[in-house]
Amino acid sequence: MGHLLIAYSRLIIACVLAAGLVACSQSQHNSSPQDTATAIAQALYNNDYNGVIANFDDTLKGQATRTQVAMISDKMHSLGDFQGLSATKSDDDTRRYVYDAKFSKGDMTVELRLHANGQVAAYRIIPK
């Protein structure tokens, strides 16, 4: 009886873990382009290299450096507190999106291009 209870407990734990992984996976793929762009902008502001590249495709990951992230973070901080993004252009057919990044002392332009699977193919932030 004890072995059966342990086996059931392990099965339940495995199911709960699997359900959690599926939920996390689905939430990442169901993120809107603006959610993705905002998460990257916030990671840049926080000088969080791993957060910046988390959704990048392999090619883009290879192009991003910690030094670039730090430089962009410094520039963003010079514009004050990050207040979020607002959409200015979008083209769902080509999966290209443009946002205005608002700060307390100015703003920047963010350009994002996504692959069909939701990975970031291109991300550019442009000072105004």
Write the pLDDT tens digit of every residue in 50-104. Answer: 999 999 999 999 999 999 999 999 999 999 999 999 999 999 999 999 999 999 9
Instruction: Count how many domains the chain has.
Output: 2
Domain span including residue 14: 1-30
**Do 55 and 101 belong together in one domain?**
yes
One domain, residues 86 and 25:
no
Give residue 128's pLDDT band: very low, low, confident or very high (50, 70, 90). Answer: confident
Residues in contact with 6: Cβ distance below 8 Å, sequence separation at least 6, in sequence order: none
| One domain for residues 105 and 50 | yes
Same domain, 71 and 17: no
Residues 37 and 55 in one domain: yes
| pLDDT for residue 25 is more than 70 | no
Q: Which spans in 1-128 are helix H? A: 2-29, 33-45, 49-53, 58-63, 66-78
Mark whether 57 and 21 lie in a shared domain. no
55 and 7 within one domain: no
Q: Which tens digit of pLDDT belongs to each residue from 62-72?
A: 999 999 999 99
**Residue 44 and residue 54 in one domain:** yes
Angle at which helix 33-45 crosses helix 66-78, to 10 degrees, equals 90
pLDDT at 29: 53
Q: Is the pLDDT of residue 19 over 60?
A: no
93 and 77, same domain (yes or no)? yes
| CATH code, domain carrying 68 | 3.10.450.590
Q: Are residues 77 and 120 in the same domain?
A: yes
70 in the same domain as 19? no
Same-domain status, 13 and 63: no
